[in-house]
Structure 1
């Protein structure tokens, strides 16, 4: 049969046109769906949900040698014998009335780690960036609260008095202290105005010194009457004598 050239040409042109159209056609797969208002993006972890930043112990210096008060003194009594506290079995224990126990030197930006156990109904704390220019350490130093939440009256005075709190300023979020008589692991990280409190591997407080919020909170407490409170960028670390038995061990610090 003779080939019909015009019809063949038309067929070839149609095939080429179809191939060109396929080459230029957009991807048929649907575009990614926009986020639904009913399923918002996951929120950042809260302070209580954030895991411990690091268990790295590199660069830490012991604050306590396990058997003596080298590097420590009673509040406003440098060079005098330490009374009311005992250094035994690798721990510092408050055993009778005395005074707050302070480091000999100042610390500014640091990662402080320590363990503590409180007596039944007991109350104590750890001060940081405190000076010794006032009648008491808590007139200048900020306090990491150490407490038997269930039996001490402060446990009923509001969560900003509970163990791990920035005492009377910020309550601890998600704090789970160990039962009385068991060792708790704590951590204070201070870098410039940013400060964190940790308890048993959980960040329970995260705040900014000298911020409007900080100033507003301080203005609602007894600290408003003491102009040195929370103002220093460096100072002593102190163990509070609140009249109750308490023990501290494994005190170590890394300067930042």
Structure 2
């Protein structure tokens, strides 16, 4: 018997979001409709689309203002996948569980971060491996450095599953980080990190996905998410 060939299915949900085979497209190279800057309703010129990539270009003529980008929608349990590349000596990151409560000034205050970094030239890489690319920042180090050379794309998949109380990072096809979530092990990790005394850090099981403004140029593309 000839097997029935499965085909890709694309639909628009009630919010006109693009969904392909259960993957919600957060950025497809043409639209930023799923995004805004932290605690605003718009996006500044610091974020722009070049070709099929979303690019953060640090503004030159302004006093420092945070331009963290966050999703309009909140997520709880998910698999997030994207491509990134970082500028020479650059630093950025991907957050989840971000709260936009009035008392918080940046996404960084509440959202745990998976690090994006030039491991060879950024000073953070010298502080410890738990601050290198792919790390759960300041808490869990990658098992190995599998980053591509500067100027090349890296593919990263972040899984956050509070139901199973675990998360992971796959970088360039290799699972390099796994970590506990929402349990005593998680609390112990936070207690020995720089975030130990941060009000609200990691407290929001449901929150927004964020892309970090760290004053360095960074590129993203092919951003999609599947809810678990």
TM-score for the superposition, normalised by structure 1: 0.74
Task: Map 1:43-122; keep pairs closer than 5 Å.
Answer: 58-78=21-41, 80-97=42-59, 98-122=66-90
Q: State the Cα distance separating 1:88 from its structure 2 match.
A: 2.0
- Counterpart CA distance in 1 for 2:166 and 2:203 is 13
The reply on whether 1:141 has 2:111 as its aligned counterpart is yes
Q: How many residues align?
A: 199
Question: Using the alignment, how far apart are the partners of 1:203 and 1:232 within structure 2?
Answer: 25
C-alpha spacing 1:195/1:122, structure 2 compared with 1 (3 Å):
same
C-alpha contact 1:124 1:246 (8 A) present in aligned 2: yes
Secondary structure of the equivalent of 2:195?
A: helix
* Over 3 Å off, 4+ runs: none
| Structure with the largest fraction of helix | 1
CA distance in structure 2 between the aligned counterparts of 1:181 and 1:130, rounded to whole angstroms: 29
Q: Which runs of 5+ in 2 are unaligned?
A: 1-19, 60-65
* Residue pair 1:184, 1:199 contacting (<8 A) in 2 also: yes
Are residue 123 (structure 1) and residue 88 (structure 2) matched? no
Larger displacement relative to structure 2 (98-107 or 118-127): 98-107
Note the C-alpha offset of 1:61.
1.6
Q: Secondary structure at the match of 2:155?
A: strand
Map 1:1-256 → 2, pairs under 5 A: 58-78=21-41, 80-97=42-59, 98-133=66-101, 134-192=104-162, 193-256=165-228
Checking the alignment, whether the CA contact within 8 Å between 1:197 and 1:206 is kept in structure 2 is: yes
Superimposed CA distance per residue, residues 225-255 of structure 1 (whole angstroms, 9 cap, x where no aligned partner): 2231112111101100000010000001111
Q: Any gaps of 5 or more consecutive residues in structure 1?
A: 1-56
8 Å contact from structure 2 (residues 28, 223) kept in 1: no
Q: Is the 8 A contact 2:83 2:220 kept in 1?
A: yes
Provide the rounded CA distance (Å) in 2 between the counterparts of 1:212 and 1:149. Answer: 31
Q: Greater Rg, structure 1 or structure 2?
A: 1
Q: How much has 1:213 moved relative to structure 2? A: 2.9
